[in-house]
């Protein structure tokens, strides 16, 4: 399903299909390899292997539970992805047991616990419920600094507005906070994840 009608040479937003998942995982791996949260929670000795496993398991879990996975395409090339957890999706200590097992085996049980603890902190800080969580947003390295991240975030905001959803997101870098603020998000609190400080950004449903 396309989210925008564009010419073949322009960016196009569409929900991901099964055949897109492998490339989506690669885009996320490259975008999140220096993420402060993952750097602090995954073992340094085999960091990339653990990160790949964590992203793979989360992406597969979201796909299996029919969560919104939005891709930004240039022609037929997937260059960006955003993953949105709806308000009913289990977060924190309510995570599915099969997710816990797979994440523990792939990323390590300590990392899985930190992941759940971060979600618990987010739930405590959100100023309104229900809300959807922007779990991932990423642009492939060769396509960064071209405004595609802003386009992808705009698509997520538009999608949330259509469904009258509040939106929440983790932000660890100040320049990313500026991007979220430009789309109507507000910083509502600080999250300490294993000693790494980030902020919760929240956007209320405009129709609320």
Reading the block at residue 70, the tokens are 């939005």
Express each pLDDT in 133-182 by its tens digit. 999 999 999 999 899 999 999 999 999 988 889 999 999 988 889 999 99
Residue 208 pLDDT grade (very low, low, confident, very high; cuts 50, 70, 90): low
Q: What is the CATH number of the domain that holds 80?
A: 3.40.630.30
Tell me whether residue 16 is in a domain. Answer: yes
Predicted pLDDT of residue 34: 92
Query: Is the model's pLDDT at 125 over the cut of 70?
Result: yes
Percent of the chain with pLDDT over 70: 95
Count of domains forming the chain: 1
pLDDT digits (tens, 9 = 90+) for 99-119: 999 999 999 999 999 999 999
Is 115 part of a structural domain of the chain?
A: yes
Residue 6 lies in a domain: no
Q: What is the pTM of this model?
A: 0.90
Mean pLDDT score of the chain: 91
């Amino acid at each position: 399903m396309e989210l925008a009608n564009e010419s073949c040479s322009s960016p196009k937003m569409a929900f991901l299909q099964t055949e897109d998942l492998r490339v989506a995982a690669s885009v996320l791996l490259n975008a999140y390899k220096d993420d402060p949260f993952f750097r602090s929670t995954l073992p340094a000795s085999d960091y990339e292997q653990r990160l790949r496993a964590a992203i793979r398991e989360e992406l597969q879990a979201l796909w299996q539970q029919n969560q919104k996975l939005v891709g930004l395409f240039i022609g037929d090339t997937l260059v960006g992805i955003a993953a949105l957890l709806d308000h009913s999706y289990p977060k924190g200590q309510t995570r599915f047991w099969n997710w816990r097992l797979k994440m523990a085996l792939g990323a390590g049980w300590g990392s899985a616990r930190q992941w759940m603890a971060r979600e618990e902190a987010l739930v405590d800080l959100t100023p309104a419920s229900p809300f959807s969580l922007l779990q991932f947003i990423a642009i492939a390295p060769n396509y960064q600094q071209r405004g595609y991240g802003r386009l992808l975030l705009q698509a997520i905001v538009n999608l949330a507005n259509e469904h009258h959803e509040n939106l929440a997101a983790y932000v660890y870098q100040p320049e990313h906070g500026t991007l979220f603020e430009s789309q109507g998000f507000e910083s509502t609190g600080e999250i300490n994840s294993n000693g790494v400080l980030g902020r919760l950004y929240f956007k209320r449903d405009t129709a609320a």
